[in-house]
A and B are shown apart, each in its own frame.
Chain A
Amino acid sequence: MSPMTDLGLRFVRRPGPGGRAANLAALGATAVVALLLTFLVAGSLGLVHRSDRIGWRGADKADPASAIGAIGQTEETVDGRQVLRIDLATMRPNQLPPPPGLDHTPKPGEVFVSPELAKHWPGPKPTGVISDKGLSSPEELVVIRGVARVDDPQYVSSWRDSVMDSRMVGLLIAVAFGITLVLFPILSLVGQAAGVAAKRREHRLAALRLAGATRTQVLWLSAVEQAVVGLAGAVVGLVGYTVLSPLIARIPLGGGRWYVHDITVSWWLVLVVLVAVPILSVISALIGLGRVSITPLGVVRGQTRKATSALRLGLLVIGPVVLGIYGMKAAVIPLMIGVGMAALAVRVVGPWAVQLIGKTMAGLANGPVALLAGRRLADDPKGAFRPVAALVLSGFVTGFISVFMPNGQGQDEATFHDLRIGVALLLSLVFLTVAASTAAGAVGTALDQAAPARALRRSGVPLQVIERSARVAAVVPVIGVGLPVVGFGALCGLALSGGKIVTQGNSGVLLLIGQVVAGLVLVAVAGAAGAPVLRKASAN
């Protein structure tokens, strides 16, 4: 083992003053990242699994000569419940296996029902119960009836066809959009998690550089430390996901609750998370440490950072223009590029806006709280924006979605249901990311401020002044940048819809108000995670 690897592992075991809190915060945030990534991938795969099992029901307009069956679908009401009835006439019953979930191919007159429907089945005892291999959800209400012939039939060429029904296609597109929209918040969280631990290392590593360690040695040492923290976070996240799986399976998206096995992680997904999460966090940490390894004195002495350029504002134009050009008829990829560019613009413009707000605030401040908060924002706008980037981006998501909120009347009820659950789910993911990011950021800031805060407390400055300035510095970017970003999100939504507001009723307004209130409460609560750390670290 190289000396630097040994030293890196030693620093993980004995992280020094404040290091344990920083490592725990980084581990917690990384665990949330691993959990979210696992959820997104396993959830998407779950949709595909679910769709594969019932794909044959969609038929594929096969040539009747080569088809193995003909089906007809009808919606009917049984015991007051909406039930899907599938009439199935098999063409070669003895030459092929039965359809998924049935123990034999239904002969004319035989009836198979789903377990949920079996509880309410009013007629004579059905021939059999459809197993989970033939159902999309344990709650699905479906009956498959064997018939000799089907009126107005559609033909099936294989029981394993992967023809998706329109609802599944819609859901997968929504998931793709969702992933695009939460990608930046999650990447921000990775950076935040790595940044908290890296900040604790800055001075130590700068000292090593001053003592003669090479740039490569310093970076390697950091990579070792961060990889261990990232791996531990990935394990915790995977365990957390597994523990939460039964709860996640209860989310009624895309036709009801889920079978737990649909969303259970496979060995290869475990491997991907265990490799990807540490790599992502190592890359984030190394990017953050570039400053140390290049100019160690700069970090040790805390010189002024370069101001961010207003040229970043130009990025704000690209997303709406792309969305406006392609509009609602576009293919998924250009739309995702448009939304992604808009989200990227928010991420890039955010720190510039934070710096502007900070300078203005410090210039106008008449009290110590506003002065400290303003200077902190102006001094390190990237650092100040990072913890709330996810929340600000969720404002973009909300603004965007608020244009497309139907009220469910006169429209496809199932689509409306999916959209509503999907929006709630998306915002929950973002809020979880924000909570982890804000809490990790608050701990990092508290550790950063420990020494001067201790000096201020000794000099008679109440701890409350320092805490309040930290809270103000956390909340101001949310209000100052987040609210305009909500408007920018709505603008992008309108660019996509060609200026048409799809939203009916007050659901869009409720969504926006809920987002703003929940976001501010979240930042205030999660930001409080720094208070006990600051209190302890700055104690006499």
Chain B
Amino acid sequence: MSYKMPMGPYHPALEEPYKLDMICEGETVQDAKLHIGFNFRGIEHLAETRNYIQVVALMERVCGICSNIHTLTLCQAMEQLTGLTPPPRALYIRVVMAELERLHSHVLWAGIAAKLMGFKTMFMECFAIREKVMDVLQAISGNRVNYSMNRIGGVNRDIADPLAVLGMVEQLEREMVSTIIPIFTTSTTARSRCAGIGVLTHEKAVSCGVVGPTARASGVPQDLRRAAPYAAYSELEFKTPVEEAGDVRARLLVRALEIMETCGILRQALAKMPSGPIDTGEAKVVFSAGTAVSRVEAPRGEVMYSVSWKENSRNPARVHVRTPTFANMPAIRYMVMGARLADTPLIQASIDPCYSCTDR
């Protein structure tokens, strides 16, 4: 006889409120239903009441983990409408911020995944290393979470001494190589807990349209930094790690390899950073009427902003956000079908869900 197991929305194991209804047969999950919307703050509507400077500060608060990515995407869309082109140094600074954010997001995810595996030591270790990433972010922007680095036509703050930041990044890379990566790739505890569970096959990944590390772990080699380069990514060399297995371990490996690639991108970007101004210096910007679309590869996958503007308006007519978790959510259902009940928290965390982005 099957029974329904409700979990959430305000549940101690979850960082964010959402509700998961699982239909179980004994210990096996037959089906799952995900209810979201507990974090709905009406940001898209609020954006229509804010002017082009306020809307950047508002959109930064869509998500506290990938705050920089949201302003980057919004600013890119607004730059298309104003016709401004950021100077090369600003583009490199945007790459550095985006990659540092990817680094801290992946390490944070590794910590949460370790906690869900019951590997508390690793959780603490990940957060200790994450603090060092936060130090670099704080050294550049002065803040730990909402960096407010992006503006229309450039960035707000310069990286005065890229080589000093380079030293910090290299030390960070050494720590990643010596602790996080080996534990997640070779530890038998981690392997026994995540190999073969939550499998998302290649066909299902394509039909669900998953994005980001979830797609790359199922053998879909998609990466917007390569497919549709933005900022300065076309001038940097990096690989896109792809795994074929599609289980939680594959997602773990993809993120571990991405941490290494990110360190490589950071080293290149900091070494190659051109000199010059960091913004266009326009005192007043004029928007042309129309709709602009911008896409960016966030730590969790593709973020898309569609920004509409009316003639002679200071406020956007519409700001629409499509977040990676929205694309990845339907896949959770296929991952948990047939899984053991005890594995479901780890499986749903393996897509790195961010419901505050998705609900807005």
A and B: interacting chains:
no
